[in-house]
């Protein structure tokens, strides 16, 4: 398949937060003309100053001329607001254009928005990401996509700008469902790691040395490699916020209620995260489960 000419493929990006800002920056760096919208206009102005392109005052104005429109906002409600709300992007999308949503949201909202897009004659892909702030800044995110293969193939070269892996997982919603699997995998693991490291400290071991040794064996994990040392040092003012994880686990638990899967550990860890929030840890990294053990 021939690659689109970036210079002739106008792109819009809605939501320039921790993730969206750098993702949009990688698309601009690849030569696509990018128009950005951000609810707080100052962030969009700063983005344009750094990366070029244009700022639009509303999602609709950003989407009007775009061949591919990206979004990366907080949750389902935010996503509905920027697509179907007042001055939402969907009213302005051109025929056969593509809307790619990078928000971590429910499979339900993806299905609703794909249906609304279909009625209006354009395409919707749910495309949540994994890899965190560092992955967004380095253009090394993993992207899990739900939707039809034809728009996926057309959007893929643009998604590639901020990704190291982009995979079509199945029909609409399959991207969000895959992201749920990712979050379920992480929740119990982080609690296990917290219990292990707290045990190591209380046993009088050199926790850094323990991490050096066991991270070369069967206990190895991304969380162990990237969070183990900061957990031991009680450092949590960075990373993936507990508020986001609770939002994600809420989505997972609701979906599990529908599909009949059991998530007993994820449900428990969600309650542990509620305790972290009650201590003021809303923006602490998810590895802060450790604090419930070190400071019960």
Ligand X SMILES: NC(=O)c1ccc[n+]([C@@H]2O[C@H](COP(=O)([O-])OP(=O)(O)OC[C@H]3O[C@@H](n4cnc5c(N)ncnc54)[C@H](OP(=O)(O)O)[C@@H]3O)[C@@H](O)[C@H]2O)c1
Residue positions annotated with a catalytic role: 179
Q: Is 126 in the site for ligand X (CB under 6 A)?
A: no
Q: Is 43 in the site for ligand X (CB under 6 A)?
A: yes
Among 11, 12, 16, 125, binds ligand X (CB under 6 A): 16
Residue 132 to residue 28: CA distance in whole angstroms: 20
Please answer whether residues 128 and 153 qualify as being in contact, where contact means their C-beta atoms are separated by less than 8 angstroms: no
Give the C-alpha distances (Å, rounded to integers) separating 47 from 38, 61, 202, 240: 10, 17, 47, 22
Site string for ligand X, 97-116 (x = CB under 6 A): ------xx------------
Q: Is 175 in the site for ligand X (CB under 6 A)?
A: no
Among 4, 6, 18, 142, binds ligand X (CB under 6 A): 18
Q: Is 142 in the site for ligand X (CB under 6 A)?
A: no
Which residue has the CB atom at the shortest distance from ligand X? 17
Q: Which residues, numbered 76-95, are part of the site for ligand X (CB under 6 A)?
A: 78, 81-82
| Smallest separation, CB 173 to ligand X (Å) | 16
Token code pair at residue 142: 């993993």
DSSP per position, 103-172: S---HHHHHHHHHHHHHHT-EEEE--EESHHHHHHHT-EEEEEES-HHHHHHHHHHHGGGEEEEEEEEST
Q: Is 53 in the site for ligand X (CB under 6 A)?
A: no
Total binding residues toward ligand X, as defined by CB under 6 A: 24
Site string for ligand X, 188-227 (x = CB under 6 A): ----------------------------------------
Please answer whether residues 68 and 9 qualify as being in contact, where contact means their C-beta atoms are separated by less than 8 angstroms: yes
Q: In terms of CB distance, is 135 or 228 closer to ligand X?
A: 135
| Smallest separation, CB 130 to ligand X (Å) | 6
- Characterise 228 by phi-psi region: left (phi > 0), alpha (psi -120 to 50), beta (else): alpha
Residues 6+ positions from 24 with CB-CB distance below 8 Å: 13, 16, 34, 36, 47, 51, 70
Among 9, 10, 12, 15, binds ligand X (CB under 6 A): 15
Taking only Cα atoms into account, the Rg of the chain, rounded to an integer number of angstroms, comes to: 20
Among 62, 72, 187, 242, binds ligand X (CB under 6 A): 72
**Using CB under 6 A as the criterion, which residues of the chain lie in contact with ligand X when the complex forms?**
15-20, 38-40, 43, 72-74, 78, 81-82, 103-104, 129-130, 132-133, 240, 244
């Amino acid at each position: 398949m021939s690659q689109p000419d970036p210079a002739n493929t106008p792109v819009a990006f809605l939501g320039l937060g921790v993730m969206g800002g750098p993702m949009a920056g990688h698309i601009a760096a690849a030569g696509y003309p990018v128009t950005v919208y951000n609810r707080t206009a100052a962030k969009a102005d700063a983005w344009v100053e750094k990366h070029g392109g244009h700022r639009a005052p509303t999602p609709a104005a950003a989407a009007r001329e775009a061949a591919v429109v990206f979004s990366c906002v907080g949750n389902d409600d935010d996503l509905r607001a920027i697509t179907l709300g007042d001055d939402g992007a969907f009213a302005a999308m051109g025929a056969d254009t593509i809307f790619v949503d990078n928000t971590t949201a429910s499979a339900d909202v993806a299905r609703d928005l794909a249906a609304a897009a279909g009625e209006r004659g354009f395409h919707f892909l749910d495309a949540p990401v994994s890899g965190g702030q560092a992955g967004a800044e380095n253009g090394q995110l993993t992207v899990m996509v739900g939707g039809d293969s034809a728009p996926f193939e057309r959007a893929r070269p643009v998604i590639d700008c901020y990704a190291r892996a982009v995979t079509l997982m199945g029909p609409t919603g399959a991207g969000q469902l895959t992201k749920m699997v990712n979050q379920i995998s992480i929740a119990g693991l982080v609690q296990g790691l917290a219990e292990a490291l707290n045990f190591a400290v209380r046993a009088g071991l050199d926790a850094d040395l323990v991490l050096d040794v066991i991270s070369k064996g069967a206990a190895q994990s991304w969380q162990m490699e990237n969070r183990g040392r900061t957990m031991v040092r009680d450092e949590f003012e960075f990373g993936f916020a507990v508020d986001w994880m609770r939002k994600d686990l809420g989505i997972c638990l609701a979906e599990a209620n529908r599909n009949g899967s059991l998530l007993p550990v994820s449900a428990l860890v969600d309650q542990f995260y509620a305790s972290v929030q009650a201590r003021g840890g809303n923006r602490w990294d998810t590895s802060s489960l450790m604090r419930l053990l070190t400071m019960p």
